Amino acid sequence: GESVGLHLPTLSVQEGDNSIINCAYSNSASDYFIWYKQESGKGPQFIIDIRSNMDKRQGQRVTVLLNKTVKHLSLQIAATQPGDSAVYFCAERDDKIIFGKGTRLHILP
Amino acid sequence: EAQVTQNPRYLITVTGKKLTVTCSQNMNHEYMSWYRQDPGLGLRQIYYSMNVEVTDKGDVPEGYKVSRKEKRNFPLILESPSPNQTSLYFCASSSLRTVYEQYFGPGTRLTVT
């Protein structure tokens, strides 16, 4: 999951398995929660968002779950592929967008 | 192709020498923003703009200036760069209606010696 430490958390997943990336957020007033993907040498890319009045949203091969009780957000990637290798950031929006520190997803062949 | 462009992509400069990083978007977005990305600190917002001639400070605005004279352009100005401004900088844009869905540029890696 997300960390405030100097080292980026890393999740290693076998190709073809499902990946679950976790994130804890802090602001109960945030109305949107967002996931971004950043591939090496590129800018972050929007993946999916979820409004605070929802607890689940599905996209193409991705699902975001929101648990407001424990202020927890997760991104599930189905059938992980080599192209999913990247750093994943969660973000929350209140009056502005605050990004988490990121989790590196490493795909094992 | 819808995109956000930044120039230059790489820059090495010396302390105190004024520089400008340009940012341009072709999606007619009202909202534009600058971030810096540092190891262990993630993405931090420097300045943002909700429309032409409207700019606001983000979380780390010290040592930076911006301007928004045209809708498509949002340059980042470092009047007197210092080594602690060595970082990877990203420009982003979005519509005001969907600020959570930002389109990022490719980044500018700045080194100040």
Across the interface, of A41, A89, A93, the residue whose CB is closest to B99 is: A93
Is B52:B29 a contact under the CB 8 Å cutoff?
no
Q: How far apart are CA B9 and CA B91, in angstroms?
A: 12
| Average pLDDT rounded to a whole number, residues A73-92 | 96
Q: How many CB atoms lie within 10 A of CB B1?
A: 3
Angle at the Cα of B3 (from A107 to B4), degrees rounded to 5? 95
At A94 the pLDDT is 83
Burial bucket for residue B18 (CB in 10 Å: 0-12, 13-18, 19+): exposed
| CA-closest candidate to residue A2, choices A71, A49, A54 | A71
The pLDDT, as a whole number, for residue A3 is 35
- Contact yes or no for B102 and A5 at CB 8 A: no
- Judged by CB atoms closer than 8 Å, whether chains meet at B100 and A44 is answered as no
B1-57 pLDDT, tens digit per residue, is 889 999 999 999 999 999 999 999 999 999 999 999 998 888 999 999 999 999 999
Q: Which residue in the set B39, B45, B106 is minimally distant from A6, CB to CB?
A: B39
pLDDT at A7: 58
Place A1 in a pLDDT band, splitting at 50, 70 and 90. Answer: very low
Task: State the best of B10, B21, B37, B43 to mutate against chain A, taking most chain A CBs within 10 Å.
Answer: B43
**Which among B41, B92, B100 has the least Cβ separation from residue A93?**
B100
For residue B60, the tally of other CB atoms under 10 A from its CB is 18
Identify the band that residue B73 occupies on the pLDDT scale cut at 50, 70 and 90: very high
CB B13 within 8 A of CB A59: no
Q: How many CB pairs under 8 A join A and B?
A: 52
Q: Rounded CA gap, A86 and B57, in Å? A: 29
Partner-chain contact A43 B99, CB within 8 Å: no
- pLDDT per residue over A19-38, tens digit each? 999 999 888 889 999 999 99
Pick among B57, B100, B103, B108 to test the A interface (most A CBs inside 10 A) = B100
3-state secondary structure B3-16: CEEEECCEEEECCC
Please determine, for residue A96, whether its predicted confidence score (pLDDT) is greater than 90: no
Whether B40 contacts chain A with CB within 8 A? yes
The 3-state secondary structure of A5-60, one letter per residue:
CCCCCEEEEECCCCEEEEEECCCCCCCEEEEEEECCCCCCEEEEEEECCCCEEECC
**Spatial contact of A80 and A16, defined as CB atoms under 8 Å apart:** yes
Compute the distance between CA of residue A46 and CA of residue B102 in angstroms, rounded to an integer. Answer: 7
**B58 contact residues in A (CB cutoff 8 A):** 96
Q: Is the pLDDT of residue B78 over 50?
A: yes
Q: Tell me the residue type at B51.
A: N
Radius of gyration of the CA atoms of chain B, in A: 13
B106 and A42 within 8 Å at the Cβ level: the answer is yes
> Confidence band (pLDDT; 50, 70, 90) for A51?
very high
Ranges A94-108, B60-74, B87-101: which has the least confidence:
A94-108
Bridge partners (DSSP) of residue A97 are A93
